[in-house]
Structure 1
C-alpha cells in the first residue's frame, strides 16, 4: 500500500495542498459551477499534443531567457512562472494513463525529466510532484501501455537526475521536504511497475549513499521513516545492493541507527515502523557473506546481545532476528556470540523467559539460533560451553527441546494428513512440501538436527533422556531419523547431505 505523507511530520499538509492547487490549475476553470470543457479536451490525443506544444514553447522561452539574461533574474522570472503553470496543467494527464504512450511518442518525457536539474528548485519540485502523480500505482495499476512511461523515464535518466536533485533539497523548507518525500515515492512507484529498477537505481545513482546519510539523522520524521522503507525495499531481494551497501560502510551505519533504541522504545507507531525497517535492512545486508564479517568487526553481535538483555519488546525480537541472520553459516559470528556470553541471554529465552507477547516467531528464531551455533562453532571450548547448557538443571533444556519437537511433529503430521486428502490431489509433491514447510516443517527439521548434534556428543545421560522423552510421547528415534531423511533428500549441498547422513547413521 502506498505511503502517504503524514501532516504532523513536516510539510505533510503542503503536499496535498500543492497537488490540489495543481489539479485546480490544470482543470482551467473546471469544478463547481461548470467550465469543464477544457479538462475534457486534455483527455484525448489532440489535447495531449496541444499541452505538449505549449509546454515545449514555455520551456524554450525559459531556456532562452536564462541564457540571455544570466545575471538578471527579474528578466527571466516571468518565463519561469509560465513554465510552472504548464507543468501544473500536466497533472491532468494522471486521469488518463492510457494516453501515456502518446507522451512517449511525442518525445516530451526527456524534456520534463531534464527539469529535475533546473536551477530553480521550485521548478524541479514541480516536476517531482508531477512525476509522482503520473507514476502512482493507483494511476498506472496493471495498465501495461502506461508502463511505457516508466520505461521512458528510466531511459531518460530520471533515476540519476532524481537522486541528484535530492542532494540539493533543503528539508527545512516544507515544500522541499515534501519534494524529498515525493522523490522517494517516485522510486517506489517505478519499482512497483518495473522491479528491475531496484538494482538499476543503485547502479546508476548514489541513492544508497543518500539513504544512509538520511537515516543517520537522529531526529525522527516522516522522511526518515520513508527513507528506511525504501532502503529495506532496495535490499530485501538484491544481493548486488546488499554488497553495495556493505562497501559504503552501511553495516556500521545501520548498527549506529538501531543502537539509538537499545535502551528506549520508539515514541510512536511510525517511529516503531522505522525501527523495524532498519532491522529488516540489517537482516538483508548480513545475508551477503561479505557483510557477515563486517557485522562481526563492527561489534554487531555484541550490540544485539546488549539489546536482548534490555528485554524491550520490539527491539528484543528484532535483535534476535538480526542475530539469526548474521550467525547463519558464519563461524566467526557464532564464536563471537559465545565469547560475549550470548548463551546467557539465549537459553533463558529458550526456556520461555522472554518479553510478554513475543509469540511463536521468537521461539522459532531461538531454535534457528541454537542450530546455527551447533553447525557453526569450530572451537572445542565453544562447543563444550554450548553442550553443557543441555546438561544443566537435570536436562531441562533437552526437555524443552523435546516439547518443541513434539509440538511441531504433531502439527506437520496433521498437515500431511490433510494434504493426503482427495481435495489436494491436484497439488504436486513440491507444492505439498512447501505447504508442509509453512506448517512448521523447517523448524521441525532444525529441532531434529539439534537433537542429532546432542545425541552425537554422547554426553552422559543425554541419549537415555532423549529416548525416555520420545517414548513418553509414543515416539522413537525412528521419528527423528525420518525427519532427518526428508531434510537430507531436499538439501542441494552434497556436503550437507553427507553430514545429515552421518547423523542418521549415528542415531
Structure 2
C-alpha cells in the first residue's frame, strides 16, 4: 500500500484564487496586495511561544471580525469578503506551526482548537478547505523528527478528537460529495486532504481507526466512493483508507460486513475480472480492494456473506482470465476457505480444483509484475495454504475423492511437485536455522519464540503445511500415493521421521487463539498424522 502522496500544489495558498463568499463574490484584492502577502508569508519567523501567541491572537481577531461582518451584513457578501480573505491568510500562517510540534501542547492550552475546528462548518467552502489543509499539515507524522515529538502530536490529536474533529471532517466529506467534488479540482483536493488527515490521526493514535467508525458515517462514504465506476485518485485513496480501517479491527470488519460491504468490495473487484488496470495508481487501488476483501474475510459471518455473494465463483473467473488480479484472487480464496468448510465445498462444486492445481503446478500467467521472484514465492505459499485448507475442510464423500484423485493423475505428478516444494522450503528453513544458531544470543537477545517466528517467516509455515498435506495423503492408505512418497523421500536421502519432526514442531506450537477445544482438536489431527507416519 502506498504512502500518502505529496500534494504541494494543492496546499499552496496561491494554487487557487482567494476565498469566494458563499454567494460566489470575489473580494477586491488587487495584484499588489497578493504580492505583499506572498512576501510576508516567505519572511522567516522564529518559531517560539511568543510567535505562537501572536499567531493565535491574530487568528482569533480575524475570526471575530468575520463572524461580526457576516452577522451584520448577511445578504451583502462584498461587505464581509475582506474579513474572509484576512481569515484565509491567518489560517495559512498557522501552517508554520507544523515545523514546531513542541508547541502543540501550548496551542491546545491557548484553546485555539475549538475555534479552528468550528470553521470546518463555515458557509464559505474555501475556508473549510483551508482548515482541512491546516489539519493535514499539523498532524503529518513526518513532522516528528525529535524523540518526544510523537508525544506532542498525541496531545494535539487527543484535543482534536475531544473537540469532534472526526465528526466534523466526515460531515465535510459528505458536504464536498454533495457538490460533486470530482468536477472541481479544488474540492477534489480537499477530499484528498480530509482522507490524509484521517490517516494521519490513525497513525498518531491507532484507536482512532475504531473511533471514527463508531462516531461517524465514514465507512458509508468510503463504500460509496469505491462503488463508483470511474477511477480517480480519491477512489484510490478511499480504498487505501478502508484497508487501514479494516486491517487491525475485528469490530470494523464486522461493521462493514453488516453494511453489505463484502458485496460492495466484490462488485468493485469484479470490474477487473477480464481487464487490467490502466495505470500503476489504478493497479494499487485494486490491490487495496483485495486487502479490504481479505480483511473482511476474517470474521466467520463475512465468509458466509462472501459465499452468498458468489465470491468463490468470481475469484475462479478472475484466475481463469489470467489478468493482473490472478494472485490476489488466490489470496482471497485462501482467506475465504481457511477454517470454513462450506467455502471449500463450493470451490470443488464449481470446478475450482482444475484452476487451483494448474497454479500449484506452476502454470501461472507471466507478466512484468509476476516475473518477480518474491511474487511467485507468495503465490506458491498461498496455493499450498489453499490446498491445505481444502484437505482440512473436505473430510469425506465424493468431493474428498475428487481432491485425492488429483494426486494420483498423471503418474502422481502433484506428489512430485509437493516433494519439490518440500525440499526447497526445507533447505531454506535449514539455512535460516543454522544462521540463527550461529548468532551469539547475548548480542542479539533473541529468545526461542523470536527464533521460531524468524523461521516461520523464512518458510517454516509453508513447510509445515506441506507436511500436513503429506499427512493427509499418507492417511488415505492409498498404495500408489504411499509408494510415491516413500520413493521421493528415499531419493532425497530423507525418511518419514523427517516429516514427523516437522509435524511434531507444528503440533507443539499450535496456539489457542480459537479456544482450548479447537487447539485440542487441531493437535489431535496432527498427532494422527504423526502416528500414521
How would you bin the TM-score normalised by the shorter chain?
A: over 0.9
Alignment of 1:37-436 (within 5 A): 39-40=44-45, 43-141=47-145, 142=147, 143=149, 144-169=151-176, 170-171=180-181, 172-312=183-323, 314-356=324-366, 357=371, 359-424=376-441, 426-436=445-455
Partner of 1:481: 500
How high is the TM-score relative to the length of structure 1? 0.93
Q: CA RMSD in A?
A: 2.1
Instruction: State the secondary structure of the residue aligned to 2:351.
Output: coil
Q: Output the CA distance in 1 between the equivalents of 2:144 and 2:279.
A: 32
Q: Output the CA distance in 1 between the equivalents of 2:422 and 2:36.
A: 66
Q: Output the CA distance in 2 between the equivalents of 1:350 and 1:2.
A: 33
Kindly indicate whether residue 500 of structure 2 is the aligned counterpart of residue 500 of structure 1. Answer: no
In the TM superposition, structure 1's runs of 4+ consecutive aligned residues that sit over 6 Å from their partners are: 19-27
How far does the alpha carbon of each residue in 1:6-34 deviate from its partner, in whole angstroms, 9 at most, with x for none? Answer: 7xxxxx84444657999998776254xxx
Q: Output the CA distance in 1 between the equivalents of 2:36 and 2:473.
A: 73
Unaligned runs of 5+ in 1: 7-11
Q: Output the CA distance in 1 between the equivalents of 2:191 and 2:37.
A: 23
Q: Output the CA distance in 1 between the equivalents of 2:70 and 2:9.
A: 33
Change (3 A) 1:113 1:379: farther
Unaligned runs of 5+ in 2: 19-33, 512-518
Q: Output the CA distance in 2 between the equivalents of 1:388 and 1:174.
A: 58
Q: Output the CA distance in 2 between the equivalents of 1:488 and 1:200.
A: 39
How far does the alpha carbon of each residue in 1:408-466 deviate from its partner, in whole angstroms, 9 at most, with x for none? Answer: 11221222222222534642211111111111100000000001011111224211211
Q: Output the CA distance in 2 between the equivalents of 1:272 and 1:324.
A: 21
Partner of 1:9: none
Aligned length: 494
Q: Output the CA distance in 2 between the equivalents of 1:283 and 1:390.
A: 28
Greater CA deviation, 394-403 or 61-70? 61-70
How high is the TM-score relative to the length of structure 2? 0.88
Change (3 A) 1:26 1:95: farther
Q: Output the CA distance in 2 between the equivalents of 1:14 and 1:27.
A: 17
Instruction: State the secondary structure of the residue aligned to 1:352.
Output: coil
CA contact (8 A) 1:286 1:292 kept: yes
Q: Output the CA distance in 2 between the equivalents of 1:416 and 1:260.
A: 44
